[in-house]
Structure 1
Amino acid sequence: MLKLRLFIAIPLPDNLLDNIIKCQNSLKTEKALSNSGARFTSRENLHITVLFLGYLEEKSVDQLLEIIRQTTNRVSPFSLTPVNFTFASPGAPPRMVWLNFQKNDEYNWLYRNLSRPVKDFFNKSQQKFDYEKREKLIHVTAARFKSPPVKNETDKIKLPAISHEEFLCREIILYKSILKKEGAQYVQISRFNLT
């Protein structure tokens, strides 16, 4: 039985992608990051993950599409505002660089109202789905480290500033993730307009 590795994400506008790439380029000059085996997320893979679904049998994808459609039909477009770059995950040795966004009630509503029916669907189909009940931090993963940079080295790194220009989220996308030696490849399965 073929299983697909799936996630739901918000695509980013070109101007924000340009800014992230510019910031990544400035980070590439930081010696401490190159020593940690930093891999920078490619432009085509930059997104905001709303929900990581894990593996789902291909035959069940149509049912999942309908669940997503029912939720997105009840959501209006909403604005998201980038705030700053930080080392992540919070409270742990740095393994990534995130671009964080302001908290957003509409995003949280979308997250909760996708999570519940998706969790029920996965339970009924006896497939594993890890639902995070805590408030989700809205972010884009800009870089990942093979090994965490040394603490006293990260303290010296000046993470770049980013424009706080908000963008309008008008759609979400269901992607499948194909894991390859050179990194993950993301393929769109379906787009859902927010109405």
Structure 2
Amino acid sequence: MKPHYFFAIVIPDDMKKAIFHEMKQHQLPFKKFTHPEDYHITLAFIGDSEERLLEEVCAQLEESLKETHSFPLRLTSFYTFGLPASPRIFWIGTDEPRELYQLQSITVNVCTKAGFKLDERPYRPHLTTARKWKGDKPYKPVVAPKWNNITINEVALYETNRLEDPKYTKKWSYLLNETRED
């Protein structure tokens, strides 16, 4: 099976620990939990690819991000995808800052110009924490804590390996410019 690739925002380690701690506290009956090292916010899923094309798209993205600065982001609430009583995906939303959408747009444009066919659904930034409800009772919404802002300062290309845990390996990354003090 060929590995798949995606570009994503790298979540700082201290926030990964906080999310993992919060998930453990709730003890939700999901079949699979995302390994804390795999927490991320996807910008563009590109699927399988040749090494040469990956190198080209990373170089193009690096060039396109030269003027992009780090920015604050806040994780907000817990949400689900799938049936309300037995969700398929449990995830954390964000405050959706404008800079996040700009970063995603730049990433999508570079990937599209390189020839990748991307998902055309509207972008819904999220961080997946669990999959496949297996509870005996219907899911009841859970209240998320008030998390601190995190600084988004790194974009990475990840390779997926479904047979390992953590499942994602960072293959390339780019550090955004530090936020300007205006």
Task: State TM-score, norm by structure 1.
Answer: 0.79
> For residues 91-102 of structure 1, what are the structure 2 equivalents within 5 Å?
94-102=87-95
> For residues 27-42 of structure 1, what are the structure 2 equivalents within 5 Å?
27-28=26-27, 30=28, 33-34=29-30, 38-42=31-35
Cα contact 1:3–1:57 (8 A) shared by 2: no
Cα contact 1:82–1:162 (8 A) shared by 2: no
**Percent identity between the aligned chains?**
21
Paired residue for 1:45?
38
Secondary structure at 2:14 match in 1: helix
Paired residue for 1:179?
162
Task: Give the whole-Å Cα distance in 2 for the aligned partners of 1:91 and 1:56.
Answer: 35
1:194 to 166, 173, 176: 176
Paired residue for 1:62?
55
User: Cα deviation per residue 1:28-60 (whole Å; 9 max; x = unaligned)?
Assistant: 2x4xx25xxx21101111111111111111222
Paired residue for 1:125?
none
User: What amino acid is aligned across from residue 63 of structure 2 in structure 1?
Assistant: Q
Paired residue for 1:153?
138
**Which of structure 1's runs of 4+ aligned residues deviate more than 6 A?**
90-93
Deviation at 1:9, TM superposition (A): 1.3
Cα contact 2:35–2:166 (8 A) shared by 1: no
Task: Give the whole-Å Cα distance in 1 for the aligned partners of 2:83 and 2:93.
Answer: 11
Task: Give the whole-Å Cα distance in 1 for the aligned partners of 2:121 and 2:141.
Answer: 33
Unaligned stretches of 5+ residues in structure 2: 178-182
Q: Which has the higher helix share?
A: 1
Task: Give the whole-Å Cα distance in 2 for the aligned partners of 1:158 and 1:22.
Answer: 18
Task: Give the whole-Å Cα distance in 1 for the aligned partners of 2:102 and 2:159.
Answer: 23
User: What amino acid is aligned across from residue 160 of structure 2 in structure 1?
Assistant: S
Unaligned stretches of 5+ residues in structure 1: 123-127
